[in-house]
């Protein structure tokens, strides 16, 4: 599971300003799909506490309304290829938020 890297990274701009990118389309999305259950599981692992997903009806309505508008299953290796490195994993990205 990996999270999207900031698309303002200078390495992407440098890669795209080189040869061979004219008229090409790239999907700047994560290479893997992750779910809310994956997030809860990763938080449980990082905090040492059992964290479960218990959405309320209001929250579910908001989330599913949002998710219907975007393609949550879209994955691509384009971002990693342009960066020339793997994206930061979800677990590594979440460590800062749980004080690790």
Q: What is the pLDDT of residue 49?
A: 93
As a whole number, mean pLDDT of residues 13-26 equals 81
47-56 burial code (b ≥16 CB/10 A, e <16): eeeeeeeeee
- pLDDT value of position 74: 79
Give the pLDDT band (50/70/90) at residue 72. Answer: low
Whether the per-residue pLDDT at 89 is higher than 60: the answer is yes
Please provide residue 89's backbone torsions phi and psi, each rounded to the nearest 5 degrees: -70, 160
**Of 10 and 83, more confident:** 83
Residue predicted with more confidence, 4 or 82? 82
> Is residue 3's pLDDT more than 50?
no
For the chain, first and last CA: distance in Å?
18
97 — phi, psi (to 5°)?
-80, -20
Nearest 5°: phi and psi at 15? Answer: -65, -45
Contact between 39 and 72 under an 8 Å Cβ cutoff? The reply is: no
In this prediction the pTM is 0.62
Question: Cβ of 88: how many Cβ atoms within 10 Å?
Answer: 15
Q: What's the rounded mean pLDDT across residues 34-62?
A: 84
- pLDDT, greater one: 13 or 91: 91
């Amino acid at each position: 599971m990996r999270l999207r890297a900031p698309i303002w990274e200078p390495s992407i701009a440098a890669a795209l300003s080189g040869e061979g990118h004219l008229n090409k389309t790239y999907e700047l999305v994560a290479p893997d799909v992750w779910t809310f259950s994956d997030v809860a599981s990763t938080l449980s692992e990082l905090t040492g506490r059992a964290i479960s997903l218990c959405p309320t009806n209001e929250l579910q309505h908001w989330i599913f309304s949002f998710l219907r508008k975007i393609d949550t299953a879209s994955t691509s290796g384009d971002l990693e290829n342009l960066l020339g490195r793997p994206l930061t994993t979800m677990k590594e990205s979440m460590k800062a938020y749980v004080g690790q």
